[in-house]
Amino acid sequence: MNTNEQAISRRSFIKASGLTGVALTLGFSFPSKAGDSPDILNAADAGSVELNAWISIDSAGKVTLTNHRAEMGQGSFQSVPQMIAEELEVDLNQVSIQFAPGNPGKYGSQITGGSSTIRGSYERMLRLGATAREMLIEAAAKKWEVPANQCYAENGKVFHRPSGRSMGYGELVTEAAKLPVPSAVKLKDPRDYKIIRKPLPRQDNPAKINGQAIFGLDKRVPGMLFAVVERNPRFMGKVKSFNSDEVLKLPGVKYVMKVERDVFGNLLEGVAVIGDSTWSALQGRKALKVEWDDNGFEHLSTQQLYDRMRTDLKSRKFISARTQGNFDSLFDKAEKKVEALYETPYESHSNMEPLNCIADVKDDSCEIWGPIQAPDWIQGATAGFLKLPPEKVTVHMTFLGGGLGRKAFTDYPYEAVALSKAIKAPVQVVWTREDDMTMGPFRPGMVYQCRGAVSRGNRIAALEIIAAGQNMNTQEPGADKSAYNLDVVDGLLKPYFDSIPHYRFGDAPLEAPIPVMWWRSVYASTNGFAFESFFDEMAVAAGKDPLDFRSQHLGEARYQALIAKLREVSHWDGRKKNEGYGVSITECFSSIVGEVCKVSRNAAGKVRIDKVWAVMDCGWYVNPDIIRAQVEGSIIMALGAATKHATTFLDGKAVEHNFDTYKMGRIGEAPDIEVHIMDNQERAGGVGEPGLPPFTAALTNAIFDLTGKRIRVLPFSLDEV
């Protein structure tokens, strides 16, 4: 980190940082433009000291660490403070943790997505803690009039080695804040970590167990009203009329009005019922009668969507995204050819906590509370909508009952802001389970056309994979529809681009009025099934062991180490008769995950999953227990999407309204999962999402190994294999 010292007044610092009640402050501000160097802000007074945007230490020595990312179950509430605490030399059991408000100038990117919390900021977090530690050590050395190299920090204190003297951080903050900020600090060797790499219990768990944790639906503000919205079930339709006079007669109903939400630049319409309680608003919506104008767009059903995708692939209507060599020439001449078509469904996010958001719009400001994955995005979008400076929009994060990408979107806060502005009062918009499950945006359904040729040396000579489906990146009005979708290669292991001499990846974009967006691991969640299933089919055509076949194409040492570990822990070479083993290895968000699935038949002859072994290579990491939990959760979620649930459409409307039709896996159906973490010197990769893409292919490849039946269409029923 490049730093420089800059003195500013307390007043201007508080104005810049949004802090109040902090009298002695030292903080880091993030660059306003990409590539700018961060500045150091200094101020001195009396009271507590914010040693940077993430660390606050008061005169009693109480340490508060800030988490700048959302906590939706993935563990950032633990892992971000755990990184800072390691270099700061404090015990996590002795600190408080708080959420940061939306402030990209102070905290940088705050979007919790793309498995980016650790990999995007771990070096900065470590340096923040180390910088604060070194300044506290220097302050103690000056007080004792001894060389700083005779001092060390431990457990919230600075010690003088020769004399054994010590002082707590609270005694040192005033002097520390007056010191020049060091331009470089030495970070610990991972071998010396006391907190990082340890499976420490999560700090948010007790509050979630005893009910003290505040989720979006728990939040209340004075004078708040409650809103539910009847939205057009065909997404793009407009409101023609509604019976507001009748609904307003119901007890507790205060307002009935049209409202919009911005979904990728398209203003989707609905009718809001606002009451003095959620109950009164829901009763009002039951009495609501809305006439919709559904002209001007198609009312598509699932069969039509997939027929169009298959037709586009058959007619070779696609955009080349990434190519090398001459696929057509090699494929036409090849003796061993493999062709297959794979299909994956649309999916709802179906977070356990449905969408909700509170907004309080004043004439010159706005305050927002809720389960928000991207407070900086919400701040920017709201400022633009209200035509306010961003600093006039305050976004508070609560805990999230699941996010999966959906709660990074700006549409549900948009509704709350629009309604609060209209009624001039704070309002909480609450989505019901049915709203949450039917309104989207959804994970796009996809169809993959795969063709490959195997050389005489039983290697992949040529590979073509064309993905047909909606491009979530070109939904805004005026978007360039001719642009290829680079995400069609998400999930593919990087060495394949070097080991396969001739390849072509492309996409056949489907146009449909159904809104689609990110879902856990984004396109890799569907790509992984197609890629790794097809590699298995090519291994069979080559007459090779599936793991050996992959190994010969993945020459880099890092991949070979993961394969060796996967082979070892799964006892791959000791496979027995009447057992099916399947392997799959994918790469996304800078992490590599290999999974082996073992299946057999139970006494009734039904296929059962006996065990799943997962090997995660995420490079530098923080908490192994969080990693294991995330991989386990990813596998369970992938199992549901493979064998249980899908969103289907009829006449332009989502069919599945609740968990009676959008089936979730039960606890008794969860397989035995064993997770192993690679230990190496690679840069940090993601953890929350990369465990999902490999599972489905590992399962279906195992089923093929056991039964000889190749599964190419999802979801499927284990009972019917």
Residue 158 contacts residue 170 (beta carbons within 8 Å):
no
Report pLDDT for 51: 55
How much is the CA Rg of the chain, to the nearest whole Å?
28
Residue that is written with structure tokens 């006494």 in the block: 603
**C-alpha to C-alpha distance for 492 and 324, rounded to whole angstroms:** 15
Residue predicted with more confidence, 309 or 131: 309
Q: Can you read off the two tokens belonging to residue 162?
A: 């020769």
**C-alpha to C-alpha distance for 499 and 535, rounded to whole angstroms:** 13
Q: Are strands 591-601 and 580-588 parallel, antiparallel or unpaired?
A: antiparallel
CA atoms 234, 239, 243, 248: torsion sign? positive
Asked if residue 13 has pLDDT above 70, the reply is no
pTM of the model: 0.91
Report pLDDT for 125: 86
Residue 442 contacts residue 515 (beta carbons within 8 Å):
yes
Asked if residue 388 has pLDDT above 60, the reply is yes
Mean pLDDT of 368-383: 95
Mean pLDDT of 190-216: 92
Asked if residue 20 has pLDDT above 80, the reply is no
Residue 306 contacts residue 445 (beta carbons within 8 Å):
yes
Q: Nearest Cα to 472, choosing from 528, 406, 529? A: 406
DSSP states of 632-653 as a string? HHHHHHHHHHHHT--B-EETTE
Taking CA 371 as the corner, what is the angle to CA 112 and CA 13, rounded to the nearest 5 degrees?
70
Q: Nearest Cα to 524, choosing from 467, 576, 480, 473? A: 467
> How many helices and strands, by DSSP H and E, does the chain display?
19, 29
**C-alpha to C-alpha distance for 373 and 388, rounded to whole angstroms:** 22
**C-alpha to C-alpha distance for 409 and 592, rounded to whole angstroms:** 27
**Which helix H or strand E contains 427, and what residues bound it?**
strand 427-430
DSSP conformation class of 17: H
How does residue 183 score in pLDDT terms, banded at 50, 70 and 90?
confident
Report pLDDT for 76: 85
Which domains does the chain carry?
10-209 (3.30.365.10), 216-296+355-430 (3.30.365.10), 318-346+442-720 (3.30.365.10)
Q: Tell me the pLDDT tens digit for each residue of 412-468.
A: 999 999 999 999 999 999 999 999 999 999 999 999 999 999 998 899 999 999 999
Residue predicted with more confidence, 42 or 365: 365
How far is the CA of 278 from the CAs of 132, 254, 337, 359, 425, in angstroms?
46, 12, 60, 15, 16
Task: Read off φ and ψ for residue 195, nearest 5 degrees.
Answer: -115, -50
Residue 21 contacts residue 13 (beta carbons within 8 Å):
no
| Percent of the chain with pLDDT strictly greater than 70 | 93
In the chain, the amino acid numbered 497 is F
**C-alpha to C-alpha distance for 153 and 89, rounded to whole angstroms:** 6
Mean pLDDT of 511-535: 96
**C-alpha to C-alpha distance for 460 and 550, rounded to whole angstroms:** 10
| Percent of the chain with pLDDT strictly greater than 90 | 77
On average, the pLDDT of the chain sits at 90
Q: Can you read off the two tokens belonging to residue 711?
A: 């599964």
Q: Quick one: 198 exposed, middle or buried, by C-beta within 10 A (0-12, 13-18, 19+)?
A: middle
**C-alpha to C-alpha distance for 63 and 97, rounded to whole angstroms:** 9
**C-alpha to C-alpha distance for 490 and 405, rounded to whole angstroms:** 16
How does residue 35 score in pLDDT terms, banded at 50, 70 and 90?
very low
Mean pLDDT of 121-145: 91
DSSP states of 431-456 as a string? --HHHHHHS--BBPPEEEEEEEEE-T
Task: Read off φ and ψ for residue 685, nearest 5 degrees.
Answer: -115, 180
Where b means 16+ CB within 10 Å and e means fewer, 552-577 reads ebbeeebbebbbebbbebbebeeeee
Residue predicted with more confidence, 237 or 179: 237
Residue that is written with structure tokens 């090699």 in the block: 330
Q: Which residues contact 107 (CB under 8 A, 6 or more apart)?
A: 30, 53, 68, 100, 376
How far is the CA of 399 from the CAs of 120, 216, 377, in angstroms?
21, 7, 17
Q: Quick one: 114 exposed, middle or buried, by C-beta within 10 A (0-12, 13-18, 19+)?
A: buried
Beta bridge partners of 55: 52, 65
How does residue 689 score in pLDDT terms, banded at 50, 70 and 90?
very high
**C-alpha to C-alpha distance for 554 and 674, rounded to whole angstroms:** 24
Mean pLDDT of 335-351: 96
**C-alpha to C-alpha distance for 583 and 597, rounded to whole angstroms:** 7
Q: Can you read off the two tokens belonging to residue 339?
A: 């062709």
Q: Which residues contact 569 (CB under 8 A, 6 or more apart)?
A: 613, 615, 674, 676
Residue predicted with more confidence, 653 or 456: 653
In the chain, the amino acid numbered 598 is K
Asked if residue 27 has pLDDT above 60, the reply is no
Residue 257 contacts residue 288 (beta carbons within 8 Å):
no
Residue 427 contacts residue 274 (beta carbons within 8 Å):
yes
Report pLDDT for 98: 87
End-to-end CA distance of the chain: 56
**C-alpha to C-alpha distance for 348 and 18, rounded to whole angstroms:** 37
Q: Tell me the pLDDT tens digit for each residue of 66-82.
A: 888 888 888 888 888 89
**C-alpha to C-alpha distance for 465 and 448, rounded to whole angstroms:** 7
Q: Quick one: 34 exposed, middle or buried, by C-beta within 10 A (0-12, 13-18, 19+)?
A: exposed
Residue predicted with more confidence, 43 or 626: 626
